[in-house]
Every structure is written in C-alpha cells, then in structure tokens.
C-alpha cells in the first residue's frame, strides 16, 4: 500500500531547494522543514474541518492502551461514595500527557476516547466534572475531562486501567512518546505514514516553498523552479 512518510516529504523539499538557482550563506535546517510541514498540515486541516466537513480517517492517529494511574486530588475532602475517587482518595489520570489536538471551532480534535474493547466515553469540560456527582440519573457514569493535556476519569472507574485515544493531533511525532504493546515500537516515526491524505501533500510542499522560501512553483507537480530571493543550498542535519 502506497503512503507518504515525513522523511519522504522532507527529502522531496530538499531536492527542490538544492536544485534551485539560489545562493545564500544561511543554511536550512531539516528540523525547520519538519516544523513547517506540521504547521501547514495543521493549517490545511483546520480550514477543512472548520467548514464542518467529515474528518478524513487519514488525518487521525491512534494510541491504544493508554495507561492510567491513580493520582491524589489536592484541596478536596474525601466523601463517602464520592464518584471521582478510588478507595484511596485518588483520581484516575493518564500516565502521560496526550498530544495536543488541532484547534477546531465546531468539534473536538479527539475522534474517540474510550476503553480498548470499544466502549466510548463522553469527553466533558473540566467545569462540568465538578457537578457530575449531583446528577440524578448518571452520577456514576464514567466520563473523561482534559486538564493540562492529561485525561482524567470520573464516575465508577473500577476496573479501568487503559484508554484508547484517537485524534487529529497538531504535531504527529508527539505520538512517538507512546509504545504500541502489540509491536513494542512507537506509534509513529519519520518513516511511518504521515497523517494527511496523499492528495494534499503537494499543497503542503507548495506552501512551504512559496511562503517560507520564496521559491515559486507554478503547480504542485511542476519540476521547474524559479526563485526571487536567496535561499541556501546548504542543509543542516537535524
């Protein structure tokens, strides 16, 4: 199955830059190129999804078996049957902070938060979590809120030890901090499929070349390059 990786995108950009008739003493960093790729991906995705369009599965990354751990709640007394707490007075929280999702106007950047066996949990605002225990019919329903990029569980959380999270993350390599238990490898590396539809990859390249480097490309597939400003043919390795 054909896909485009982050390394492929960066190498394509380097070939175009090195082939341009340009000159300057200031080198271009591969790390800078990578940052631009992520920034323009986020820009294009936000434009598409803020039009209330369907989230293409190619945008989405998944973290399965996100580990949960108990952490103490400070400044709050333990109450009998208080649904936020375990018997030790702690609350369940993701062991690691989750990657930041893209900022969307009309929907969450998360497309699924739930149990590994497929039971979806409702993501609620942190402020609402403080009143969940007083709801008449659903005080013990398991719900999730996000605070400082950690996911917290409230309700009857007995037996919960992991979550599965899918989302449109702003910086795809942040998913590399998580290890896939099925493969013992990170969920993302520079040779993985880059989370973007393949037909939009040329648009990312064109935006970087024209907006950041002043290299004019007549079409995304045009190999003829012109330049109006000096851009270095030197490239720093990350």
Q: What is the pLDDT of residues 135-147, one digit of tens each?
A: 545 556 788 999 9
In this predicted structure, what is the pLDDT of residue 238? 53
Asked if the model's pLDDT at residue 155 lies above 60, the reply is yes
193 exposure class (CB count in 10 Å sphere: 0-12, 13-18, 19+): middle
d(CA 24, CA 152): 50
Q: Mean of the pLDDT values across residues 142-159? A: 88
In this predicted structure, what is the pLDDT of residue 6? 97
Q: Which residue has the higher pLDDT, 218 or 46?
A: 46
pTM for this predicted structure? 0.80
Read off the pLDDT band of 222 (50, 70, 90).
Answer: very low
In this predicted structure, what is the pLDDT of residue 83? 46
Q: 130 by DSSP, 3-state: which?
A: coil
For the ranges 37-41, 64-68, 84-88, 180-184, which has the lowest average pLDDT?
A: 84-88
Strands (DSSP E) contained in 30-140 are: 61-72, 90-94, 110-114, 122-124
Q: 225 by DSSP, 3-state: which?
A: strand
Read off the pLDDT band of 19 (50, 70, 90).
Answer: confident
Read off the pLDDT band of 90 (50, 70, 90).
Answer: confident
In this predicted structure, what is the pLDDT of residue 48? 87
For the ranges 51-55, 137-141, 145-149, 229-233, which has the lowest average pLDDT?
A: 229-233
Q: 232 by DSSP, 3-state: which?
A: coil
Backbone dihedral angles phi then psi of residue 207, each to the nearest 5 degrees: -60, -40
CB atoms within 10 A of CB 219: 9
Strand partners, 63: 165
Average pLDDT over the chain, rounded to an integer: 81
In this predicted structure, what is the pLDDT of residue 78? 42
């Amino acid at each position: 199955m054909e896909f485009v990786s982050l390394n492929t995108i960066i190498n394509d950009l380097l070939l175009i830059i090195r082939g341009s008739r340009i000159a300057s003493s200031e080198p271009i960093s591969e790390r800078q190129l990578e940052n631009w790729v992520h920034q323009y991906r986020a820009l294009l995705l936000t434009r598409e999804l803020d039009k209330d369009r369907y989230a293409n599965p190619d945008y989405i990354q998944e973290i399965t078996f996100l580990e949960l751990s108990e952490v103490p709640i400070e400044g709050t007394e333990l109450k009998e049957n208080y649904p936020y707490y375990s018997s030790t007075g702690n609350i369940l929280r993701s062991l690691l902070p989750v990657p930041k999702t893209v900022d969307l106007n009309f929907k969450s950047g998360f497309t699924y938060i739930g149990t590994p066996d497929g039971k979806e949990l409702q993501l609620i605002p942190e402020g609402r979590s403080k009143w969940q225990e007083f709801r008449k019919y659903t005080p013990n329903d398991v719900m999730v809120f996000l605070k400082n990029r950690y996911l917290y569980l409230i309700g009857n959380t007995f037996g919960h030890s992991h979550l599965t999270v899918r989302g449109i993350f702003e910086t795809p390599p942040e998913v590399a901090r998580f290890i896939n238990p099925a493969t013992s490898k990170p969920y993302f590396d520079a040779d993985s499929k880059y989370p973007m539809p393949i037909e939009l990859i040329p648009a990312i390249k064109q935006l970087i070349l024209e907006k950041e480097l002043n290299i004019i490309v007549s079409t995304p597939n045009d190999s003829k390059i012109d330049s109006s400003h000096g851009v270095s043919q030197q490239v720093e390795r990350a």
